[in-house]
Amino acid sequence: MGCKKGPIQLENDKSFWGLYEKGETIGRGHFAKVKLVRERESGEFFAAKILDKSLEEHQEDYESMMREFDVLRSLHHKNIVNLHQAYESQSSLILVCQLATGGELMHRIAEDNEVYTESEARYHLRTITEAIGFMHTDGVVHRDLKPENILLSDKTSEAHILVADFGLGRFVESQQTKMDTVCGTHHYLAPELVKCDRGELETYDKSVDVWGIGLIAFIMLFGYNPFLRDSNMATHEAIVTCKYAFPKDDNISKCAKDLIKRMLCLDAKKRITVEQALAHPFFAEPGPGDGSDALSVNQNGVRSVMKEFNARRAVMKLTGMRGKNRRASEEMAPDAPTLAAAGAKDDKKSSPAKGRSVMTRRGKSNSEEVQNIAAKASK
């Protein structure tokens, strides 16, 4: 449907629940909760982000969510989560968005039984890069690109990628517009955002999204975040010094590594643009022997490494660590909700993803395994 004007004004919250059937809470952020809802008229499922306006401390949050509304209603792209409708009452602001029942792309990759190749990664990365390019052309910067915000539309093999969570998105007047708000998620911040936080820089620009794509590309091809350390301070230091290295033993192409180097460039002015990235040889059709073998790192399949990385993220969430590692970014449930699973007819083509293990076959903890691989790469 989309929204061309402001939120629909309601007399009270009861009016909203007259339009939608309430389901489970499927996500919580710093200032809003996300509910699974079913539109009574159409029977379609959506995700409703709900802000309680009655709390005085939510005034700034209200302004942020209105900015998210403005961003979402301007973006209409197959690979960007769609805003269905927005509502406002005296006590609540509600954004009703497309429901991505397929969960995270990284989870699907790690749990799939098919051979995971560079060609598959190339396809996904091209889709993500094109979506971000569309946003930039439309004057929007995401500012919080990470695995949690790259979702799948449904559980079928035909599912398409959806870039989600525009809570930190912002309009920019021109390609050169500068921003100064420090935001995002600690483990995925671009160097200039860390420097702004430290007072070493005053502004940054849309190139922070290119860094985000580059880091997603690294994770998608190698299975882990090369900057992740035991503390936020150590992670920030690794980011601002751009301290990372490719594993000594892997079968990822030199072309892919070159693109990552150009995206994960410490100097934002020298960092490749989205347009330049899409023109990079990596996104051309693969040549003989390029990208047809299962990806491996240090004699481990990238799919298994990524499974460990996903498990580590899950453990961090369960132990409450992720709450400390976020800056005003929405927390979303990774899997399809119960009510949606019961009613989503399109999901019958594939079986649900298997449960994730937090231990490797050798008995090591997921955290230890991922850290060992990262350590080997940095030596």
Which domain, by its residues, includes 200? 105-378
The answer to whether residues 243 and 349 belong to one domain is: yes
Domains: count for the chain: 2
Out of 63, 98, 133, pick the residue that ends a domain.
Answer: 98
For residue 261, being part of any structural domain is answered with yes
Question: Do 47 and 185 fall into the same domain?
Answer: no
Residue 2, domain member (yes or no) = no
| For the chain, the helix, strand and coil percentages under 3-state DSSP, each to the nearest 5 | 40, 20, 40
Q: What is the pLDDT along the chain (379 residues), one digit of tens a residue?
A: 556 679 999 999 999 999 999 999 988 766 789 999 999 999 999 999 999 988 767 777 888 899 999 999 999 999 999 999 999 999 999 999 999 999 999 999 999 878 899 999 999 999 999 999 999 999 999 999 999 999 999 999 899 999 999 989 999 988 789 999 999 999 999 999 999 999 999 999 999 999 999 999 999 999 999 999 988 999 999 999 999 999 999 999 999 999 999 999 999 999 999 999 999 999 986 654 455 789 999 989 999 999 999 998 888 777 654 444 444 444 433 343 444 443 444 444 333 333 322 222 223 333 344 444 444 444 4
Residues in the chain, overall count: 379
pTM, to two decimals: 0.82
13 shares its domain with 135: no
Q: Are residues 218 and 353 in the same domain?
A: yes
* Residue pair 109/222 in contact by the 8 Å Cβ criterion: no
189 plus 123 within the same structural domain: yes
**Where among 78, 98, 118 does a domain terminate?**
98
CA-wise closest residue to 94 among 72, 78, 75, 79: 72
Q: For the domain that residue 328 is a member of, what is the CATH number? A: 1.10.510.10
Question: Do 59 and 113 lie in a common domain?
Answer: no
Residue 50 phi, psi dihedral angles, 5° rounding: -120, 125
| Domain final residue pick, 36, 69, 98 | 98
Whether residues 234 and 363 share a domain: the answer is yes
Which residues have a catalytic role annotated?
144
